[in-house]
Amino acid sequence: MRIDGAGAIVFGGASGLGEATARRLAAEGARVTIADLAQDRAATLAGELGARAVRTDVTDPDSVAAAVDAAVPDGLRILVVCAGVGTPGKLIGRDGPTPQEHFAHVIAVNLLGTINALRLGAAVMLAGAPDEHGERGVCVLTASVAAYDGQIGQVAYAASKGGVVGLTLPVARELAGQGVRVMTIAPGLFDTPMLAGLPEAARTSLAATVPFPPRLGDPAEYADLLEHIVTNPMLNGGVIRLDGALRMAPR
């Protein structure tokens, strides 16, 4: 899929991995729509990139539909889902079982939010004309290494990201015949706002657990991989760990 001139939407595009993705796609000539709850930050970034910003709640189908509609005039070809939350919580807390609402919220954002963006964006892609290579679009989702080796306290997060991993192949198979590819990236420890609130000593300790390179990942490295996925037509239906050989310890 050619990036230059393509319409793209990045859910969670106002910060972290999503911001790096929006910057890369815009730099390569895509017409980018940034869909994010952080409206002011999204608008500022959109102004810098010459992109469009739409306040979007991925748990709300109408909100996602409005964001996708905003991207339609650009000829939507690229969809990226980076929106997510990492709220920690054990199955059993100090006061007993953790309330179900905690798990429901994380799964609603990370898993159902991904499905919302994917189903509504892919429907638009299917309605479009294929390019000269028969492609109508590329969808790139974001899971996590927690899908495979979630830590204690990551019950909802690991379950939600495991769901994203699990849906990648069946959706790719469903859409393949109509020229839409689906891939998922499973990042390890990246220098994003999700880790920014930790004390520096904790960040340094986490970075040291990565075999090589022994540091936190740079969001630009996520964007590097995403760019390759979009432009390489043989990448479809898979999940790529982007983690420096990290395997998370139990805690």
Is the per-residue pLDDT at 195 higher than 90? no
Is the per-residue pLDDT at 202 higher than 90? no
% of the chain residues with pLDDT over 90 = 91
Query: For the purposes of burial, counting CB atoms within 10 Å of the CB of 63, is it exposed (0-12), middle (13-18) or buried (19 or more)?
Result: middle
- Looking at the annotation, which residues are catalytic? 157
DSSP 71: H
- The pLDDT of residue 251 is 86
d(CA 68, CA 79): 9
* Domains (range + CATH), the chain: 7-242 (3.40.50.720)
pTM reported for the whole predicted model: 0.96
Query: For the purposes of burial, counting CB atoms within 10 Å of the CB of 194, is it exposed (0-12), middle (13-18) or buried (19 or more)?
Result: middle
52-61: per-residue pLDDT in tens?
999 999 999 9
5-21: per-residue pLDDT in tens?
999 999 999 999 999 99
Is the per-residue pLDDT at 198 higher than 80? no
211-223: per-residue pLDDT in tens?
999 999 999 999 9
Average pLDDT score, the chain = 96
What number is the average pLDDT over the span 201-211? 86
| Tokens of residue 58, six digits | 């991925």
Is the per-residue pLDDT at 194 higher than 90? no
25-47: per-residue pLDDT in tens?
999 999 999 999 999 999 999 99
